[in-house]
Structure 1
Amino acid sequence: MRVAIVGSGAIGLLYGGWLQSAGLDVVFVTRPGRQAALDGATLTAEGRLSFRLERVSAVGDVANAGSFDAIILAVKLYDLAAAAAQALPALAPAGALVAVQNGVSAYGILRPLLDPSKLAIGPVFAATRLTGSSSVAYAGADRVTLGNPECKVSPAVDELVRRWASVGVTAEIAEDIDDVIWTKFLGFATNAALTSLGRLPAGVVYHTPELVELAKQSIREVASVGRAEGIAITGDAEEMTLRILQSLPPATVASMRQDLDAGKRLELDFISGEIDRLGHKHGIATPLHSLAYRLLQPFRDGAPTAAPRA
């Protein structure tokens, strides 16, 4: 089985490395500037399921890399449509396109582009970071959950799950992937908004009484719009989300906060912006996420340029 990993950041390297460890032929598709550093390099991962791969393959353009039985899109949501359009010509007739992102927009972005039977989506559970051009570290769950909201996943997706499981990953096909994604989104969106707005880590945000109340409000807002979208989010899921956030390592910040600090483009439209949009759609007030969406707008496309003084 031949697999392309489009987006060779920390998640792409980790997921692809596990698959290569399981014996699959994996090609990492990355920016041309990174290709030289990654192609032929030793890839390592530090975490519970660590690995060391003496040599990996990387290309700068998936269109010139042959045909693939599975293409995994591990890119930011704002790059998802373009990445899929570039990758689809390389997908084998019986192949599968797999998108792994946190957020609730991936299926809607990809569904118009291909037959749904070829598509699978899933959230990301591991907290990852690059420690070098070909090294990654992760904490949290080594779990991969995939599914399709409309139909059964293809045999190619079943094989990916089997291979991940063979190296110790908790890998599964979810009967209701929307429920899994929205349950993860409760905490993901809350952590993104609060650690970005406050420029504070989890150890402060989720252990300061006044900020805990904001976290509860955020979770309620996400749950309310999710229920309006037809997702059966329970009160237990809301309570569990808060407990998970309070159990995070004290220095933890959301990936959007990391991008904010680095002056990079933000996934703002797909996090607080999506909650704000769905709130307006269903007539549900989402004051915290609406505020976060507006206050972070100047940073949406990267660090803003200071206005000249009069």
Structure 2
Amino acid sequence: MFFRWDWLRPQLTAPVVPTLGPVHPDALTVDLFEDTLRAAETGDFLPYDRDRRWGGEKDEKVLRDDVVHQREHTLIPALSRRGRGTVKVFAYGLHDGILDEAAELAAKLAAAHDVVNARVVRPLGPETTHPRGTRIQLKKFTAGSCPAPVGPVGPVTDWPTDVQETFAPFARVMAGDGLAFLHTQMQAGRCGPVLAAAAEGRIVGAIGPMEVCPDAIGRPQLMPQYFAVLPEARGQGLGRLLWQAAMRWGQSHGAAYQLLQTRVNGPSDQLCQSEGLASLGFTHTTSA
């Protein structure tokens, strides 16, 4: 075993694992970190990797030979070749100098692997004051029933054909939120249902795909979705309707929970906070 849990566990201020992202606190074990090292050697997806559903090969892998694991801090670099390439160094530890050390390692490894981007990912605890970056939130489906939303929301395939045909232009406009990628997966039949909101005969918002998969300890989780509403359709409550419809779908299909990542103080973050989700911490990413 490479990682010492008695060293690593006190450094985990938020339940974030390199290449896997946020995980349920109950599933946060040394085995998850060990599994990322094994996956780096094989190039395979882990059974509970959320990216597995898209098929192909795992793009991001831990650079196991460059991991720094000490009693006071742990630095775990990961490499992605997507686009112009990125090295991320996940910095676990509490001392003030960890960010400088992580940035130095990221820059060195980016040069060594001939990639353009070097970044540092710092997990932060839920008690963090004035947080920036991304908030990790937990929705528990066992805590109470999710009411059915009342409004113009439903699966894309349930809308009339002429409305369904407006999903393509909607997806192009919202490509920055991942909807163009989602549309290609829908067309290829590679993903679960997508829920959409319509107004005046066209789709103006969507959330999906809707899929439930087991996590590392076998507990069913509602997988992350792409979520977007056209700018001109915001402020009408459609985002909340879409989110509520997604939560209703997840609960009715046996999910125990969902983990959501929201930009701090962004619209989705404010929505989830108003819905009473538990905050598990933050991740703050900076350029090295």
Provide the TM-score with structure 2 as the length reference: 0.33
Task: Give the structure with the higher percent strand.
Answer: 2
Task: Give the structure with the higher percent helix.
Answer: 1
- Structure number with greater CO (CA < 8 Å, separation at least 6) is 2
Provide the TM-score with structure 1 as the length reference: 0.31
